[in-house]
Amino acid sequence: MSFMITNQDTINQEKEIIIKLLKFYDDATYKGWSEKIIRNVRNYISRIIHKTEKEIFQIFLSHFPKDTTTKISLTKQAKLHASFIGFCYHFEIGTTVNPKKAFEYYIIAAEHGDGFALSQIGGLSATQLEYNHTTSTKYIEYVHKSAKIGHPHGAYKMAIVTTGRLRAFWYLKAAEKNFPDGLTKAAQLYKTGEYVIKDVHRALRMALLVRRVMGEKNFSDGVWKKLFGE
């Protein structure tokens, strides 16, 4: 007995791919910087989904909701969908790098409250579009919105553009989300007692958590030595 694969079957399969990849993408944005997200997404596409990056990009474009005006509230999946297409244009996944296109899709996601997209718009604005440096008002506006939503990328970037107690505050916020760099900075603060009550045991627990989040292979001895000198 033979079965014919209909157009609807193909559509359903593509929708399943989108759901799985967006869940993976969303999780990945909380676990490291863009380089790690790119690597993990590419590995997931090739090893789990078994399609080319170009095929995936075309699937996402063809299924992108047509009406995405800021007046209509988007579902979480639709926000992630826009964010992912922006990410592809930003980092050359299945298409050529196109900062303006990346901005176009990131802004759709950002206007509907996607924290990662907000943090990436800040980077695009500072380096590739109309703003010239990371202290620009617009850059900080986007990054601050990302941080207030609770995304660790936004919190960590706010720490970079602030000083003193406010910097420590944002490092701790990034650490709350188990963001590896945020945990490392927070561990340093607790080790030295800078702007927080000194707590070496807490610093150690955070360092061990960084090792767990990053994985043994990715946790360099340099990170440990920098924190504890041994």
Contact 70, 104 (CB under 8 A): no
Residue 222: inside a domain, yes or no?
yes
Residue 61: inside a domain, yes or no?
yes
| Cα–Cα nearest to 147, from 113, 184, 187, 190 | 113
Which of 107, 134, 161 is the last residue before a domain boundary?
Answer: 161
- Asked whether residue 181 falls in the same domain as residue 73, the answer is no
| Cα–Cα nearest to 197, from 189, 205, 208 | 189
Say what the pTM is: 0.84
- Asked whether residue 203 falls in the same domain as residue 113, the answer is no
Which of 161, 194, 212 is the last residue before a domain boundary?
Answer: 161
Contact 71, 104 (CB under 8 A): no
- Report how far residue 22's alpha carbon sits from residue 41's, in angstroms, rounded to the nearest whole number: 10
Q: Residues of 196-208 as b/e, b for ≥16 C-beta within 10 angstroms?
A: beeeeebbeebbe
- Asked whether residue 112 falls in the same domain as residue 194, the answer is no
The count of domains in the chain is 2
**pLDDT reported for residue 92:** 95
Residue 198: inside a domain, yes or no?
yes
Q: Divide the 230 residues of the chain into consecutive groups of 10 and give the mean pLDDT of each group.
A: 64 94 95 90 94 96 76 79 96 94 92 92 60 62 93 94 95 94 92 93 88 62 58
Residue 141: inside a domain, yes or no?
yes
Q: Residue 219: which domain range?
A: 174-230
- Asked whether residue 142 falls in the same domain as residue 181, the answer is no
**pLDDT reported for residue 22:** 96
Residue with tokens 């901005």: 103
**pLDDT reported for residue 226:** 61
- Asked whether residue 81 falls in the same domain as residue 187, the answer is no
Burial class (CB in 10 A: 0-12, 13-18, 19+), 31: middle
Contact 110, 117 (CB under 8 A): yes
**pLDDT reported for residue 209:** 86
- Asked whether residue 35 falls in the same domain as residue 129, the answer is yes
- Asked whether residue 18 falls in the same domain as residue 97, the answer is yes
Cα dihedral 125→127→133→138 (10° resolution): 0
